[in-house]
DNA sequence: GTGAAAGCGCTAACAG
DNA sequence: CTGTTAGCGCTTTCAC
């Protein structure tokens, strides 16, 4: 005989108890709880509902998951929930998921690829019904992941990845438009602060900047590599300020970097936008509260999140994806 | 005969398959997977491990949960993950939980108490092993929650609540010290921007401010109520600037409000700290990147999160709690 | 050292 | 319209 552990004292109340209390079978309880698949006589149903109420019965989600093979759980892995962009994305996903009756299992990778891989494995073994990945991994790495057929979308990813549904924003165009705006202000020296550079897969923001710069026939523009953090932007800007000639404008690949750059410029006594104009990417909340407020590129995060959740639930995620348009948000850091 | 749905195609590989492949019984597989409760001969164990490897077997977390009555899941409900303080807390909790083999079920209440209640019910019915609440609710409301014996801690809560373990920071003292610091700079008019005011349960930050002000024998200091957002701080500061006499210093109940206040002052052309000094509470990352950088009160979030997770796992959470010390972080907004 | 089997709570096919 | 029952994948007692 096994020793079923009496389920810890908690969730004592089971479907059995409800059935007994209402004087029906467990099947009937199921039918009323799930509103199907069979019909139940109105007053029987009422009795059951009362029993549920009285006993404060709550279905056991794991028994259900075991039986059905689906959990109503979505897994999300983010590099660092502390970054406003990821927090905003998480919130949007949570909202979209909740609206469909799904809860969110959150894993934070601490900006570490190894951690990310183990997080993904963990979520998969917890049988999430779908996975949204805000990933640090490269495409070949993604291919080696063992998802056991868990539907997965890569979020904020331009391009496609076999085995995944890719949801992204038209970042190339977004950056291009922002830089063109800077060009429109008459700037001829627009250096790029770029958060991460992968020689195999140039970032669309870099591509957009570079296209705008080329089109404007500006020459030899500088790229200052760093990472996607305030500190990274700060240090990159310090390096830029330490060398000559100074650019008249800077495009930063994220608002976070722009915030760092702003600090470096203030500390050095350079005025934004008078001495150096600035624009960036993401449109996090903070962008409106910097001084000057950031001209930046807005991503339709809510739409993207909704689409991600929909794709996972509808389940056609083995390939393809969606690209969303961005929008230039003009504030003051560009000189407007 | 039932129709067990063949578990969706996914997680096809079960303990059965591994057992068959390794030529042992399912019990033995369990023993090696769980490293107990029985010992297994080394080479048998090796065979099983190879089978697991080859078949890429992953245990079904729900079957396990059903059997054991515990899920290795912690639920967390936050008012708004988008706010840096909650994001930082979530990250710290995730870290602490992961270190103990627990995953995090995240629910965002969108700053809505009704939503929060339903979130809590949802997490409880999903049988989380513990709940950490960053709550909007009042103490009486908390008492009415149906937790079904789920261990729960209220996070960032000063005082105690029956039925919960309360983890908080010594916010009264923290605010007191910050305001005293302002007093030390010679300020005699220190108005308070307070994010939310509940007449029944005055916020410890308000208490700390008020104690410091009283001790310094300053009279009739003003309180400007608002909410815990950038916009709230912005508007509160606009109101303050619109009336006379102007204070020489402002204490804000959160960094977010301080960020908003900073914007209002810049727009009005008042210099910080020369015209009006500023200090606040929380020490979110952004506090270091504002201009001037914020003098603020730091909470030991990581320690608090670790303690919360530990309490939930150890399971002695029906009462009591822990209070953590804060630390004044002096930067430039105060005039230093 | 290994295996058989019960049963966690639930769903749904089938019988009545 | 209602009841009986198998079985989802797992753990663990008990027997060998």
Distance from CA of A217 to the nearest CA of B (A): 35
CA-wise closest residue to A294 among A249, A326, A262:
A262
Asked whether residue B327's C-beta has any atom of DNA/RNA strand D within 7 A, the reply is no
Is the pLDDT at B7 greater than 60? The verdict is no
Rounded to whole angstroms, how far apart are CA atoms B216 and B225?
22
pTM of the model: 0.92
- Could you give the percent of chain B with pLDDT greater than 70? 96
3-state secondary structure of A27: helix
Specify the pLDDT at position B308.
Answer: 97
Is the pLDDT at B12 greater than 90? The verdict is no
Rounded to whole angstroms, how far apart are CA atoms B161 and A102?
30
Identify the helix (H) or strand (E) that includes residue B153.
strand B152-155
Residue B285, both tokens: 């990352």
If pLDDT is split at 50, 70 and 90, which confidence band does B289 have? very high
What DSSP state is assigned to residue A324?
E
Asked whether residue B67's C-beta has any atom of DNA/RNA strand C within 7 A, the reply is yes
Specify the pLDDT at position A11.
Answer: 52
Specify the pLDDT at position B5.
Answer: 43
Which residues of chain B neighbour A73 with C-beta distances below 8 Å?
Answer: 105
CA-wise closest residue to B333 among B275, B284, B285:
B275
Distance A52 CA to D4 C1' (A): 22
Rounded to whole angstroms, how far apart are CA atoms B23 and A321?
44
Asked whether residue B111's C-beta has any atom of DNA/RNA strand C within 7 A, the reply is no
Q: Helices marked H in chain A — which ranges?
A: 15-22, 26-34, 42-55, 61-68, 84-99, 113-125, 139-144, 171-184, 204-215, 230-242, 255-268, 301-314
| CB contact at 8 A, B258 and B290 | yes
Say yes or no: A6 contacts chain B, CB-CB below 8 A.
Answer: yes
3-state secondary structure of A241: helix
B interface test, pick of A53, A126, A128, A237 with most B CB neighbours within 10 Å: A126
Residue A7, φ and ψ in degrees, nearest 5: 40, 50
Distance from CA of A206 to the nearest CA of B (A): 25
Which residues of chain B neighbour A110 with C-beta distances below 8 Å?
Answer: 95
Rounded to whole angstroms, how far apart are CA atoms A16 and A210?
67
Specify the pLDDT at position A27.
Answer: 87
> A195-253, pLDDT tens digit by residue?
988 887 889 999 999 999 999 988 778 999 999 999 999 999 999 999 999 999 999 99
3-state secondary structure of B82: coil
If pLDDT is split at 50, 70 and 90, which confidence band does B11 have? low
Rounded to whole angstroms, how far apart are CA atoms B336 and B334?
6
| CB contact at 8 A, B106 and B98 | no
Of the candidates A7, A106, A148, which has its C-beta nearest B10's C-beta? A148
Residue A9, both tokens: 């004292």
If you measure CA to CA, which chain B residue comes closest to A5?
Answer: B68
Which residues of chain A fall below pLDDT 70?
1-11, 36
Residue B198, φ and ψ in degrees, nearest 5: -115, 110
Specify the pLDDT at position B2.
Answer: 46
User: For residues B77, B80, B81 and B82, what is the CA-based torsion angle, rounded to 10 degrees?
Assistant: 180
> B45-70, pLDDT tens digit by residue?
888 899 998 888 888 888 988 888 88
> B170-198, pLDDT tens digit by residue?
999 999 999 999 999 999 999 999 998 88
The region, left, alpha or beta by phi > 0 then psi within -120 to 50, assigned to residue B35 is left
Identify any residues that bridge with A298 across adjacent strands, giving them in sequence order. Answer: A282, A327
Specify the pLDDT at position B119.
Answer: 92
Say yes or no: B87 contacts chain A, CB-CB below 8 A.
Answer: yes
Strand order in the sheet with B165-169: A321-324, A165-169, A152-155, A130-133, A73-78, A103-108, B103-108, B73-78, B130-133, B152-155, B165-169, B321-324
Rounded to whole angstroms, how far apart are CA atoms B186 and A237?
36
If you measure CA to CA, which chain B residue comes closest to A86?
Answer: B82
Rounded to whole angstroms, how far apart are CA atoms A310 and A300?
15
Specify the pLDDT at position A56.
Answer: 85
If pLDDT is split at 50, 70 and 90, which confidence band does B13 have? confident
Nearest residue to nucleotide D15, by CA–C1' distance, is: A1
Asked whether residue B69's C-beta has any atom of DNA/RNA strand D within 7 A, the reply is no
Residue B248, both tokens: 């020489």
């Amino acid at each position: 005989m096994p020793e079923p552990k009496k389920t810890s004292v908690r969730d004592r109340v089971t479907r059995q108890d409800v059935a007994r209390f209402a004087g029906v079978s467990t099947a009937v309880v199921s039918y009323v709880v799930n509103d199907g698949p069979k019909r139940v006589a109105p007053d029987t149903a009422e009795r059951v509902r009362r029993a549920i109420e009285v006993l404060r019965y709550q279905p056991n989600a794991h028994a259900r998951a075991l039986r059905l093979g689906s959990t109503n759980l979505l897994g999300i892995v983010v590099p660092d929930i502390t970054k406003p962009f990821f927090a905003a994305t998480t919130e949007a996903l949570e909202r979209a998921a909740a609206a469909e009756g799904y809860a969110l299992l959150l894993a934070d990778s601490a900006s570490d690829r190894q951690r990310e891989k183990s997080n993904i494995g963990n979520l998969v073994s917890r049988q999430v019904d779908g996975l949204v990945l805000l990933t640090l991994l490269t495409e070949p790495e993604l291919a080696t992941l063992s998802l056991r057929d868990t539907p997965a979308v890569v979020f904020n990813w331009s391009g496609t990845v076999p085995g995944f549904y890719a949801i992204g924003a038209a970042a190339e165009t977004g950056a291009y438009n922002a830089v063109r705006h800077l060009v429109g202000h008459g700037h001829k020296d627009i250096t790029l602060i770029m958060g991460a550079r992968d020689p195999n897969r140039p970032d669309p923001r870099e591509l957009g900047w570079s296209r705008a710069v080329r089109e404007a026939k500006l020459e030899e523009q500088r790229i200052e590599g760093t990472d996607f953090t305030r500190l990274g932007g700060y240090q990159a800007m310090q390096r830029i300020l330490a060398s000559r000639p100074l650019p008249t404008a800077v495009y930063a690949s994220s608002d976070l970097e722009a915030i760092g750059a702003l600090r470096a410029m203030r500390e050095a006594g350079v005025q934004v936008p008078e001495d150096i104009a600035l624009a960036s990417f993401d449109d996090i909340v903070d962008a409106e509260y910097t001084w000057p407020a950031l001209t930046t590129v807005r991503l339709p995060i809510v739409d993207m999140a909704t689409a991600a959740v929909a794709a996972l639930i509808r389940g056609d995620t083995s390939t393809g994806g969606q690209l969303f348009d961005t929008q230039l948000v003009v504030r003051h850091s560009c000189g407007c």
